[in-house]
C-alpha cells in the first residue's frame, strides 16, 4: 500500500478516505517539543513543493499537525508514530520527537517522489497526501549503517548527504569508521600529527590488493573538530545516533606512522612506516605499553567531547583483525603478559579492551567492538558488533552482552550484487537485493534472554574499492532499502517474505532515489560509467548461510 519503504506496521485506507491537498495556506502546527521536526519538514518538503508551510495554529486552514503523546508509549514505543490524514489535514503523533520525525519520512513518501527534490519541477502541480491512517513502529532499536571513511575519505558534504539518506530510510545509527591503517580522519588537537601525517598517503592501490594498478595521486582528507560537531548535530536533528570508531589495537598503521612510539619499536623500525597504501590485514599493531594507553585516553577524551553522551552513548574501539606476530616477538609485550599473569596474546588484546571498557564506563559511555573482542574474555557491559557471521553475536548474547548483528556473509554492502562480469571491482560474495531482503538478524534457537540482547542490526560498507561517493552509492543502493525494511518492519521468516511485493514498491522507491540523486545499481546492471573494466576485484563463492 502506498509503496512505503520500509513497510509500516499497519495501514488503513477506507474507501471514502479522500485526501489532504496542500496549498499556499497550509501550515505546520507544531506542538512544543516538535519544533525541530517542523523545521526539517519545512526545509525539505517546503523546498520540493515551493509551499511556505508557515508555522500556524491551523484553525480553519489545512494543517500538518505534529503532536507528542506520552500516553501512547505502549502502542508506539520511543520511535513509532501514528498518522491520520483526512481532507482537513494530517495529524502526526509520536511519543517522542524522534517518532514524529520518523513519521514525517512517511509523509514525504506519501507526497510522491518529487517531494525528494530540492526545488519544484512543475509550478502547476498540486500536492496531496492520501487519506487514511498509518500506525508504525520499528522492530529494532538499532538500525545502522557503518561507513568506512578511512580507506577512502568521504568528504563532509557527502557524510551529511548520507545522514539524509539514512533518515529517509528510517535508519537511526551512523557508525563512523574514522581510523584505519590507510588513514586517520579525525582532528585530535593534542596529537596533531595524527592528521598532519596520518590523514595522507602518497599513492593508493586501485582495486583489490591483488590488482596490479596504483593510483599515484597523493590522497587524503580529514574532518576538523568543527566538521565533526556539524556532522553530530546534523545527525541529532535527524534523530540519528553517531557511533565513532577509533580502531585499537589493530588497524593502526596510520597512527603509528604519525607517532612511531605507538608501535612495537623493539620488533621493527616503526619510524620507517608510512600510511598504508594497499589493503589487507596489517601486522603493524599498537604496542601494549602505558604510553599507548595514555595516548589513546587522550584521543578518546577529545572524542567524548565531540560526540556527546546524549547522542553517542556507544563508543566503538574496533578490536578486529589484530595480528599478534609482533606481540609474540616483542620482549615488551611478553613482559606485559607476564606482569599481568595473562595466558597469551589473545588475553593481551583483552587487557587493552578491558582497560578502555572501564575507562569509558567511568565516563558514562559504553564500549562496543567487533566480535574478536570476545577472544580472551569480554568485560561486563561491553557490546559486540557480530561481523564474522552470527557466531560471535550468539556467544555474546548468551553471555549477556548486547549485540548488533552485521554478519559479513549477509550485510557487507561492499560485496558484489551480481555474479555478472560487469560488476565494478567485484569483491566478496554475491549478495543480491533479494538476499539482503531475506536477511534475518535474530538467529533461531537463541534463549529468550539472549534475544533481548540483540539490539538490532547494521549494514557495513568498507571502502577499499569505493574511491568516491558514486562508487559508494552503487554498492549501497538499492540494497540499503531492503536492509531498512529488515531493520524496521515486522517481516515474517526469511522464506516467507514477499520479495515480489517489495520489488513492486521499489518501482516507486527508485523514483525517490532518482529525485535524491542516488547513483544506485539498476536492476539491469551497471550503467556504462558505473563499470570499471580491467580493475581487479576478488569475487568469492558461496550462498548466504541460513540462520
Ligand atoms: C571487519 O570487517 N574487519 C570488522
Residue 547: its pLDDT value, please? 60
pLDDT surpassing 80 at residue 2: no
How far is it, in rounded angstroms, from Cα 513 to Cα 297?
A: 41
Atom of ligand 1 nearest to the CA of 321: 3
- Kindly list the catalytic residues: 180, 251, 321
Distance 122 CA to ligand 1 centre (A): 46
Q: How confident is the model at residue 542 (pLDDT cuts 50, 70, 90)?
A: confident
Interacting residues of 39 by C-beta distance below 8 A, sequence separation 6+: none
The 10s digit of each residue's pLDDT in 17-37 is 999 999 999 999 999 999 999
Q: Sketch out the chain's domains with CATH numbers.
A: 10-136 (3.30.379.10), 142-539 (3.20.20.80)
Q: How confident is the model at residue 377 (pLDDT cuts 50, 70, 90)?
A: confident
Q: How confident is the model at residue 87 (pLDDT cuts 50, 70, 90)?
A: very high
pLDDT surpassing 80 at residue 240: yes
Residue nearest atom 2 of ligand 1, based on CA coordinates = 387
Residue 266: its pLDDT value, please? 98
Residue to substitute in 178, 320, 393, 409 for testing ligand 1 pocket (most ligand atoms within 8 angstroms of CB): 320
Distance 461 CA to ligand 1 centre (A): 10
pLDDT surpassing 70 at residue 233: yes
Atom of ligand 1 nearest to the CA of 460: 2
Q: How confident is the model at residue 546 (pLDDT cuts 50, 70, 90)?
A: low
* Mean pLDDT of all residues belonging to the chain: 97
- Virtual CA dihedral for 528, 418, 411, 250, nearest 10 degrees? -70
How far is it, in rounded angstroms, from Cα 7 to Cα 487?
A: 11
Whether 98 and 79 have beta carbons less than 8 Å apart is answered as yes
How far is it, in rounded angstroms, from Cα 377 to Cα 10?
A: 43
The 10s digit of each residue's pLDDT in 282-291 is 999 999 999 9
How far is it, in rounded angstroms, from Cα 484 to Cα 491?
A: 11
pLDDT surpassing 80 at residue 300: yes
Q: Is the CB of 387 under 6 A from ligand 1?
A: yes
pLDDT surpassing 90 at residue 99: yes
Atom of ligand 1 nearest to the CA of 251: 3
Mean pLDDT within 171-179: 99
Residue 370: its pLDDT value, please? 98
Q: Which of 1-15, 131-145, 291-305, 422-436 has the lowest mean pLDDT?
A: 1-15
Interacting residues of 539 by C-beta distance below 8 A, sequence separation 6+: 416, 419, 426, 427, 428, 430
How far is it, in rounded angstroms, from Cα 418 to Cα 424?
A: 10
Residue 543: its pLDDT value, please? 79
pLDDT surpassing 60 at residue 1: no
Distance 75 CA to ligand 1 centre (A): 37
Distance 415 CA to ligand 1 centre (A): 13
Residue 311: its pLDDT value, please? 97
How far is it, in rounded angstroms, from Cα 197 to Cα 270?
A: 14
Mean pLDDT within 367-392: 95
Residue 376: its pLDDT value, please? 85
Q: Which of 455, 437, 433, 446 is nearest to 523 (CA)?
A: 433
Q: Tell me the residue ranges of DSSP E strands in 87-172.
A: 89-94, 127-130, 132-136, 142-148
Distance 449 CA to ligand 1 centre (A): 27
How far is it, in rounded angstroms, from Cα 323 to Cα 328?
A: 10
Atom of ligand 1 nearest to the CA of 370: 4
Residue nearest atom 3 of ligand 1, based on CA coordinates = 320
Whether 67 and 35 have beta carbons less than 8 Å apart is answered as no
Q: What phi and psi values does residue 516 have, to the nearest 5 degrees?
A: -80, -10
Residue position matching grid coordinates 537511526 = 172
How far is it, in rounded angstroms, from Cα 430 to Cα 415?
A: 7
Which 3 state secondary structure label does DSSP give 235? helix
Residue to substitute in 151, 375, 408, 411 for testing ligand 1 pocket (most ligand atoms within 8 angstroms of CB): 408
Residue 287: its pLDDT value, please? 98
Distance 113 CA to ligand 1 centre (A): 35
Atom of ligand 1 nearest to the CA of 385: 4
How far is it, in rounded angstroms, from Cα 204 to Cα 215?
A: 5
Residue 230: its pLDDT value, please? 99
Residue to substitute in 249, 462, 464, 540 for testing ligand 1 pocket (most ligand atoms within 8 angstroms of CB): 462
Distance 206 CA to ligand 1 centre (A): 20
Residue 544: its pLDDT value, please? 78
pLDDT surpassing 80 at residue 155: yes
How far is it, in rounded angstroms, from Cα 162 to Cα 378?
A: 33
Q: Is the CB of 388 under 6 A from ligand 1?
A: no
Helices (H), ranges, 288-342: 290-306, 325-329, 331-339
Residue to substitute in 317, 387, 389 for testing ligand 1 pocket (most ligand atoms within 8 angstroms of CB): 387
Share of the chain above pLDDT 90, in %: 97
Q: How many Cα atoms sit within 13 Å of 382 on the Cβ side?
A: 30
DSSP 8-state secondary structure symbol assigned to residue 8: P
Q: Is the CB of 320 under 6 A from ligand 1?
A: yes
Amino acid at each position: 500500500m502506498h509503496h512505503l519503504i520500509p513497510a509500516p506496521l499497519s495501514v488503513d485506507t477506507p474507501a471514502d478516505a479522500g485526501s489532504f491537498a496542500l496549498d499556499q495556506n497550509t501550515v505546520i502546527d507544531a506542538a512544543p517539543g516538535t519544533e525541530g521536526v517542523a523545521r526539517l519538514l519545512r526545509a525539505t518538503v517546503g523546498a520540493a513543493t515551493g509551499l511556505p508551510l508557515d508555522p500556524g495554529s491551523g484553525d480553519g486552514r489545512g494543517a500538518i499537525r505534529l503532536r507528542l503523546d506520552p500516553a501512547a508509549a505502549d502502542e508506539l514505543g520511543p520511535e513509532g508514530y501514528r498518522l491520520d490524514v483526512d481532507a482537513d489535514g494530517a495529524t502526526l503523533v509520536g511519543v517522542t520527537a524522534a517518532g514524529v520525525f520518523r513519521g514525517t519520512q512517511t509523509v514525504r513518501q506519501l507526497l510522491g517522489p518529487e517531494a525528494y527534490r530540492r526545488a519544484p519541477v512543475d509550478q502547476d502541480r498540486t500536492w496531496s497526501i492520501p487519506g487514511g491512517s498509518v500506525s508504525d513502529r520499528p522492530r529494532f532499536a538499532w538500525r545502522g549503517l557503518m561507513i568506512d571513511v578511512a580507506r577512502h575519505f568521504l568528504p563532509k558534504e557527502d557524510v551529511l548527504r548520507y545522514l539524509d539518506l539514512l533518515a529517509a530510510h528510517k535508519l537511526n545509527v551512523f557508525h563512523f569508521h574514522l581510523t584505519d591503517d590507510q588513514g586517520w580522519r579525525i582532528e585530535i588537537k593534542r596529537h596533531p600529527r595524527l592528521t598532519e601525517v596520518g590523514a595522507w598517503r602518497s599513492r593508493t592501490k586501485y582495486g583489490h590488493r591483488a590488482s596490479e594498478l596504483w593510483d599515484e595521486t597523493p590522497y587524503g582528507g580529514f574532518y576538523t573538530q568543527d566538521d565533526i560537531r556539524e556532522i553530530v548535530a546534523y545527525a541529532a536533528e535527524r534523530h540519528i545516533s553517531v557511533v565513532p570508531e577509533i580502531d585499537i589495537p589493530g588497524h593502526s598503521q596510520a597512527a603509528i606512522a604519525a607517532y612511531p612510539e605507538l608501535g612495537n619499536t623493539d620488533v621493527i623500525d616503526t619510524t620507517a612506516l608510512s600510511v598504508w597504501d594497499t589493503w589487507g590485514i596489517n601486522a603493524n599493531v599498537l604496542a601494549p605499553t602505558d604510553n599507548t594507553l595514555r595516548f589513546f585516553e587522550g584521543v578518546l577524551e577529545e572524542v567524548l567531547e565531540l560526540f556527546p553522551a546524549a547522542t553517542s552513548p556507544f563508543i566503538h574501539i574496533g578490536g578486529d583483525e589484530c595480528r599478534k606476530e609482533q606481540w609474540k616477538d616483542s620482549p615488551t609485550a611478553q613482559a606485559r603478559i607476564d606482569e599481568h599473569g595473562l595466558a597469551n596474546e589473545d588475553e593481551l588484546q583483552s587487557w587493552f579492551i578491558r582497560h578502555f571498557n572501564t575507562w569509558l564506563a567511568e565516563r558514562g559511555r559504553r564500549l562496543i567492538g567487533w566480535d574478536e573482542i570476545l577472544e580472551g574474555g569480554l568485560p561486563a557491559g561491553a557490546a559486540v558488533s557480530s561481523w564474522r557471521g552470527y557466531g560471535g553475536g550468539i556467544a555474546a548474547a548468551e553471555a549477556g552482552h548486547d549485540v548488533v548483528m552485521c554478519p559479513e556473509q549477509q550485510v557487507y554492502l561492499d560485496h558484489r550484487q551480481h555474479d555478472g562480469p560487469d560488476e565494478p571491482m567485484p569483491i566478496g560474495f554475491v549478495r543480491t537485493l533479494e538476499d539482503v531482503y531475506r536477511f534475518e538478524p535474530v538467529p533461531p534457537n537463541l534463549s529468550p534472554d539472549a534475544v533481548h540482547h540483540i539490539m538490532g542490526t547494521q549494514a557495513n560498507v568498507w571502502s577499499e574499492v569505493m574511491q568516491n561517493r558514486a562508487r559508494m552509492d552503487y554498492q549501497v543502493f538499492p540494497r540499503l532499502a531492503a536492509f531498512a525494511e529488515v531493520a524496521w518492519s515486522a517481516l515474517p521468516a526469511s522464506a516467507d517474505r514477499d520479495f515480489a511485493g517489495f520489488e513492486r514498491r521499489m518501482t516507486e522507491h527508485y523514483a525517490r532515489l532518482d529525485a535524491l540523486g542516488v547513483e544506485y545499481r539498476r536492476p539491469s546492471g551497471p550503467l556504462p560509467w558505473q563499470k570499471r573494466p580491467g580493475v581487479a576485484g576478488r569475487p568469492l563463492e558461496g550462498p548466504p548461510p541460513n540462520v
